[in-house]
Each structure stands twice: as C-alpha cells, then as structure tokens.
Amino acid sequence: MRNPLIKRLPRELKSEFGKYLVIFLFFLIVIGFVSGFLVSSASMKVTFGETFEKYNIEDGNFELFYEADEALIETLEKEDVTIYENYYIEKDTKDFESTLRMFKMREEVNLECVMEGEMPTDTNEIAIDRVYAQNNGVAVGDTLKVGFKEMEVTGFVALPDYSTMLSSPSDMMFDANMFGIGVVTEETFDSFGKGGFHYSYSWKYDEAPKDDAQAKEMADDLLEVLVDNAMVTEYIPEYCNMAIHFAGNDLGNDYMVMMVFLYIVVAIIAFIFAITTNNTIAKESTVIGTLRASGYSRGELLRHYMTMPVLVTLFSALVGNVLGYTCFRTVAENMYFASYSLTTYEVLWNADAFIKTTVVPVILVIVINYVILVSKLKLSPLKFLRRDLSKRQKKKAIRLNTKIGIMKRFRMRIIFQNMPNYIMIFVGIFFANVILLLGIAFPSLLNKYEDDIADNMICDYQYILKAPVDTEVEDAEKYCAGSLTYVAENGREEDATLFGIVADSEYIDIELADDEVYISDAFSEKYHISEGDTVELKEFGGKKYNFDVQGIYHYPSSLAVFMSQEHFNETFDYEADYYSGYFSNTEIEDIDEMYIATQITVSDMTKTSRQLIDSMGSMMDMMFGFGVVMFMLIIYLLSKIIIEKNAQSISMTKILGYTNTEIGGLYIMSTTIVVILSIIVTLPLVDQLMKYACVVMTSSFSGWFPYYVPTYAYVAVVSAGILSYAVIAWKQYGKVKKVPMDMALKNVE
C-alpha cells in the first residue's frame, strides 16, 4: 500500500516553494562552481604532470657570465648529465611597456606547445606566449616592434619551462603583463647581436633522480663542479624552479580551499534545513501526534520530514555537477589560463569530485537532519498533541528586571526563545563577512603594497652590470649587489638581495658600522628578525655568512640586506673599489646594453601586485557578490522561520490591538538587533582570521605582503550587510502583515 504521507510532499513543496527555490539555486551555484574548479584543475594537473615527459622538460638550468667552452662542457658531462644551449636575448617592446625574452626554437629540451597559429619559419617572425599576448592585446598576424626590429606574430605558444611567467628565480610573483616569452628562428636570433644576451644552459641527467631528495644531492654535486670551473650568475634545479612548478602547485592548493569552502556552506545549509524542519514539526505537532497515535512509526515520520531536504540537495548537486562540467568549468578554466601559460588539456571524468560535491553533501544533510529530527521525534504522541515539544520543561522563564520597558523586555524574550536560530544567524554572518571582506580588502591590500613600493623605491633606475663600466650621468651612484640564501627555521629557503652602499649615500639614508648591517622591514616582519639579532645567509656553494643586524630599514619590496661598500667588498673578496651597479634617478644611456645585466624600474618592483590584481580581480568581485547572496539567504531563511514560529503570538498581539508597525517593531526589530550586533561583533574575528590567512599566503611567496585593510572596507562590509538586511526586513514585514488574527483563536489549547 502506498504511503499516504507521500501526497503531502507536493503540497509542502508548493507551500514552501520560495524557500526551496532559494536553497536549490544557492546549492546549485556553490556545487556547480566548486565542481567546475575541481574538474578543470584536476584535468589540468594530470596534463601538467604529463608535460615533463611529453615536452622533455629540463632537470635544471644555469647561467654563466661568459660562454662555456668545450672543455667546461666536457667536464660537466662527466657528472652524467647532458648540457644543452638555451641562450636567450631580452629586449624591450616599443608598442607597449614590456620586456620580451627570446629563445631559438627548441629541438631537444623544453619543447614548445603551439596554442594558436604556427611557429615562425622566416626572418622577422616570432611566436609569443599566449597569456602575455592576451594581456597586451596582441593577436596572431599583428606586428610587434622588439628592440629595433618589426616582427610578425605567427602564433601563440606555451613553454613548459615557463608555465609561470617568472623572469628570475628570486621573483616573488610572476608577471605576464610586462614580461613575456618568444621563440624565433636561429637566423632571427643571431641578428639581434650580443645586447641583452644571456649564456643560459639546460641540463638533463643521464639517469633521472628517483625523488627530490636525490635530485638535490645530484644538483649540489653538479654545482660544486660548476662553481670550481666557471663564473655562475644563476643556478636552479628543476625541482625548485617555480617557473616550472608554481602553476602545478597552485592547481593542487585550490583543491583544499574549494573543499573547505563547500563543506562550510553545506553544513550551514544543512543546519538551516534542520531548523526549518524543526519549525515545521512545531507547526504540525498536533498532526504528528495524531499520526503517531494512529500507528505511524517514528521511522516513517523521520523519512517523511527528511525527504524534501534530501531531494532538494540531491537534485541541486546533480544539476550543479552537470553545469560544473560545462559552463562553470569554463569559468575556472579561464581563470587558470588567464594566469598561467598552461598547455592544452583534455577534460577528464573526476569521480572524486563527484563524490565530494554530490555524495558527501547529501550524506552531510542526511546526518545533520537525522540527528536533530531523531531527538525531536522521541517525544510521546501526547506531547505532540499538547504542543509540548520540550524534553525538559523550565520551571520559570528567565527573570527580567521590571525597570526595563515592556517593549524591550518583549524583544529580549523573543531573542531568548529563538536563540538557536539567532546563533545560526551569527555563524552565517561570520562566514559571509569573511567572503565580503576578502572580496573588498584583497585588492586594497595589493594597491597599498604597490603604492608603498613606488613611494619607497631606492631610485627611479637601478642598474646591475655584468662588469664595472663608468658613466657620465651626474646623479648615478655606484653600489655593490649580490644575492645570498636565507634558510628559515622551517627549512624554507629564500633569496635575499645584498646592497653594498657608499658612505653618505644620496639614495639610502643609513649610517653603517664596519661589520654591521641593516635589513629591510619586509625581511624583519616575515622572519621575525629584530635589531640586535644575527642573521645567517649562505651562497651557492654552501659557504655561510653571519651578519649582526644594526637596524631595520623601510624597504617593503623585498628581502634585502644593506651594508657598507667596504664591508661588502671585504666580505666577498673583491677589490676595494669594486662596484656592480648604479643607483640613478636619470636613465643611463651612455653604457652599452651588452654590459647591463638588469635594469630595474618601478614597474619591475610592482609586478607582484599588478599580476595578482589582473589574475584575481574578477574572482574577488565574484566573492563579494557571493558573500552578499550568502548573507541574504541565511538571514532570509532564518528570519522567515522566526516569523512563522511566532505566528500564533503575532496573531494574539493583533487581537490585543497592536498595529502591524508595532508588531514589526517587536519581532523584526529583535532580528535587526541580532543581525547588526552579529555584523559588528564578527568583524574583529574576521579581521584576525584574514590577518592569519595573509601571513600563511605570503609565507609561500618570496617577499612579504604587510597586512592592510582600509577603513572603508569595514564600512563597506557593514553597509552591505545592513542594506541587504533592509531588503529582507521589508519582505518579512509583509509576512507579519499577512498573519491573520483568527490563527490564535483556531489554535486555542
């Protein structure tokens, strides 16, 4: 015999259609968005792992000050490696501000993946990186002026050793706007001459290492041989080359973030379902009592009241997964491809994503609803008939001071009676505020960081030379530059830049003792190094140096160590008058490009914030919008439950002569007080959580982001919350007006 209770489900769906529609759409968007990210990132990660063999990615690369001769190559290859030339030339583009690093077309290692168009075949043709081209508005067939040459763009490529546009291993962030990669024919490459030329080499082991630990040992052994026989300017094994691995690591990091986000949202919605069902049981307590007295078991009623929440969750999860593999997947794909130079990939079925975005949310909803409903349905039929749904009757209500006005006491009673709902409102507002503040504050943090760097640049033009060369520019000031590695307590290694500055420097206002140094505030804050501490740094070969920190210098752009020029040259065994660069506020044009290793301007120093704004700006907007939607959904559903739960009391107050406005001042104002207090109270908690998240995030980058949230961000979060609630309060006031006066008379016990 068919269970008659099934007939109630369509009527319940119809009567509560607005509630279930809102929950369905919210679940669908969340699950579809998360599913799309998991599917696309997992598919890309599989493809990313295959690129190492498919495109024959190097085991490492190094750069020499001079071209390696045959004797050096033979010496290195005795270490069971094969050395490949990977020379490149860097030139500025003239159509827009950027630096283009050009390679000859690869034939043996780091092979190119053609994304669009074709490879160059003639002189003055070039294929460039896809992301770099998109960011600068370059299309296939366009003409690009590089250095002194007009070059036709024949296609877009992705280079596996530059899946992330890091121009140097010491960069704290990639930059696909002002730094790009291009490949040209050998004839075109040779025509650029030696200006901006770099003697870069790649190596492959004859027998690949088993793991990163063995790769480190092999790389260290090779480095020792290299340092003994050549002047090394750069050395980086494949396993720690972020230009190769950063994108792949990021694909994996997003997975856990998405999972945590999904389950927090699902848990909140599951509790809302449970509270909603609890409220339904309270409204239908006499019906439940009658059914229990008529022979219906607790299990039958339990299954009945769990059916709609489970069906809504299951249906929204299934539809969300379908959308995840279609439209939402392309959203995630576009975000990844807008940041990283990934090769083409194939969408793969992801059983793990299906389980986590469909099976787990359904189980979570079932478990939470089951626990709450089982507890409630244990009551006897008589208690349901009497509308006595409390397991333990309180002897008396909380005593309130009679000096408090009657309306205020009434509101306090409402808050105490609906405390579970208000606790859920508080929790929901907390998570909504996290999303809202992140969406507003993150771009502001990046903009502030960019402004700080621009305002605290040492000079407008900073040059690093391949060899000391004099200049006639009057405000050019000589300095020494170097790089050493700092090893943190957790074993993380990060490069720090060393500056040897002249006495009474016009650009760096520091008084330095003979054997003491200053460090940048970025260095100090990130690794908790204070004045008076000793900092230990090491060089490529493993030699270590200890420096006493005399003070902290405001230099937020990177980890830096400042010392006198004499101290620098003495420490690193240079001649007393040695220098390796110039500080200048005027561009130096009387030094040949072939002697200039690097030219640093404000655009080079702000690449981190610029790239993060470009790659994450749209996501932050989406997060802000999602935070508002989440806020409104939670407040709407729970405030609706409060009105419905107190419908009989509202009806009674109408009989006693209270107007709709006065009743709204009681029931809606009570919720208003809780909402506003929750918004204000959760903000400091959210701020601390954001600060911790910023530290964790920055610790994975080179450099340092000082935590900063502008005042207007807090104002915006509060304003968004209050304005959103105003819309909901107006909607709930309409429900108060619709409560009939005869409800209290119909339900007289």
The single-letter code of the amino acid at 65 is F
The pLDDT-based confidence of 614 (bands split at 50, 70, 90) is low
264 φ/ψ angles, rounded to the nearest 5 degrees: -65, -45
**Is the per-residue pLDDT at 435 higher than 60?**
yes
Rounded to the nearest 10 degrees, what angle do helices 285-293 and 298-324 cross at? 120
Question: Both 364 and 472 in a single domain?
Answer: no
Q: What is the mean pLDDT of the chain?
A: 81
Question: Both 302 and 271 in a single domain?
Answer: yes
567 token code pair: 């101290």
**Is the per-residue pLDDT at 613 higher than 80?**
no
- What is the per-residue pLDDT across 265-298, written as a single tens digit (0 to 9) for each? 777 777 677 777 777 777 778 888 888 888 888 8
Number of domains in the chain: 4
Query: Could you tell me if residue 385 is inside a domain?
Result: yes
- What is the per-residue pLDDT across 30-39, written as a single tens digit (0 to 9) for each? 888 888 888 8
Q: How far is CA 485 from the centre of its chain?
A: 26
> Percent of the chain at pLDDT above 70?
89
Separation of alpha carbons 263 and 356, rounded Å: 9
Separation of alpha carbons 566 and 569, rounded Å: 5
Question: Both 223 and 77 in a single domain?
Answer: yes
Separation of alpha carbons 455 and 29, rounded Å: 42
> What DSSP assignment string belongs to 598-651?
EEE-HHHHTHHHHHHHHHHHHHHHHHHHHHHHHHHHHHHHHHHHHHHHTHHHHH
- What is the per-residue pLDDT across 215-269, written as a single tens digit (0 to 9) for each? 888 988 898 899 888 888 888 898 888 888 877 777 766 666 677 667 777 777 7
By C-alpha distance, which of 309, 287, 291 is closest to 300?
291
Query: 232-237 and 99-104: which strand pairing?
Result: unpaired
Which segment, 345-359, 571-585, 638-652, is predicted with the most confidence on average?
A: 571-585
pLDDT at 339: 76
Mean of pLDDT values over 674-694: 85
**Is the per-residue pLDDT at 83 higher than 90?**
yes
By C-alpha distance, which of 170, 162, 94 is closest to 128?
162
**What residues have CB less than 8 Å from 702, skipping those under 6 apart?**
170, 171, 172, 173, 494, 495, 558, 559
The three-class DSSP label of residue 596 is strand
Look at residues 576, 600, 624 and tell me which one is the last residue of a structural domain.
Answer: 600
By C-alpha distance, which of 494, 504, 501, 506 is closest to 518?
501
- What is the per-residue pLDDT across 109-139, written as a single tens digit (0 to 9) for each? 999 999 999 999 988 899 999 989 988 889 9
Question: Both 74 and 175 in a single domain?
Answer: yes
**Is the per-residue pLDDT at 594 higher than 50?**
yes
Say which residue, 560 or 396, is predicted with more confidence. 560
pLDDT at 541: 62
- What is the per-residue pLDDT across 362-390, written as a single tens digit (0 to 9) for each? 888 888 778 878 877 888 888 888 777 76
Separation of alpha carbons 441 and 624, rounded Å: 10
- What is the per-residue pLDDT across 339-356, written as a single tens digit (0 to 9) for each? 788 888 778 888 888 888
Say which residue, 614 or 459, is predicted with more confidence. 459
Question: Both 329 and 369 in a single domain?
Answer: yes
pLDDT at 102: 93
Question: Both 595 and 606 in a single domain?
Answer: no
- What is the per-residue pLDDT across 716-726, written as a single tens digit (0 to 9) for each? 888 888 888 88
Query: Could you tell me if residue 584 is inside a domain?
Result: yes
Q: How far is CA 328 from the centre of its chain?
A: 18
By C-alpha distance, which of 238, 210, 244, 237 is closest to 222?
237
By C-alpha distance, which of 112, 88, 92 is closest to 100?
92
The single-letter code of the amino acid at 238 is E
**Is the per-residue pLDDT at 620 higher than 60?**
yes
Query: Could you tell me if residue 241 is inside a domain?
Result: no
Query: 88-92 and 99-104: which strand pairing?
Result: antiparallel
Look at residues 600, 635, 655 and tell me which one is the last residue of a structural domain.
Answer: 600
Question: Both 710 and 740 in a single domain?
Answer: yes
- Alpha carbon dihedral 93, 96, 100, 105, in 10-degree steps, equals -80
Mean of pLDDT values over 490-506: 83
Question: Both 593 and 610 in a single domain?
Answer: no
Cite the beta strand spans of 397-533 per DSSP E.
Answer: 461-465, 477-487, 493-501, 516-520
- Helix (H), strand (E) at residue 149: strand 149-158
Query: Could you tell me if residue 290 is inside a domain?
Result: yes
Question: Both 296 and 307 in a single domain?
Answer: yes
Query: Could you tell me if residue 216 is inside a domain?
Result: yes
| 387 Rama class: left (phi>0) / alpha (psi -120 to 50) / beta | left
pLDDT at 262: 72
124 φ/ψ angles, rounded to the nearest 5 degrees: 60, 30
Question: Both 189 and 95 in a single domain?
Answer: yes
Say which residue, 665 or 578, is predicted with more confidence. 578
Mean of pLDDT values over 154-169: 85
Look at residues 347, 364, 391 and tell me which one is the last residue of a structural domain.
Answer: 391
The pLDDT-based confidence of 312 (bands split at 50, 70, 90) is confident
Query: Could you tell me if residue 397 is inside a domain?
Result: no
Contact 530, 549 (CB under 8 A): yes
Separation of alpha carbons 318 and 299, rounded Å: 27
**Is the per-residue pLDDT at 80 higher than 80?**
yes
pLDDT at 57: 92
Q: What is the 3-state secondary structure (H, E, C) of 198-247?
A: EEEEEEEECCCCCCHHHHHHHHHHHHHHHHHHCCEEEEEEHHHCHHHHHH
Separation of alpha carbons 9 and 14, rounded Å: 9
> Percent of the chain at pLDDT above 90?
11
Domain range holding 210? 66-230
By C-alpha distance, which of 446, 455, 449 is closest to 614?
446
**Is the per-residue pLDDT at 395 higher than 60?**
no
- What is the per-residue pLDDT across 5-24, written as a single tens digit (0 to 9) for each? 777 778 878 877 877 887 88
Q: Which of 389-403, 439-453, 512-526 has the lowest mean pLDDT?
A: 389-403
Query: Could you tell me if residue 398 is inside a domain?
Result: no
**What residues have CB less than 8 Å from 257, skipping those under 6 apart?**
none
Q: How many CB atoms lie within 10 A of CB 336?
A: 19
Contact 443, 613 (CB under 8 A): yes
Question: Both 700 and 646 in a single domain?
Answer: yes
pLDDT at 1: 43
Query: Could you tell me if residue 396 is inside a domain?
Result: no
Is this structure's pTM higher than 0.75?
no
Question: Both 310 and 335 in a single domain?
Answer: yes
pLDDT at 392: 57
10 token code pair: 């369509």
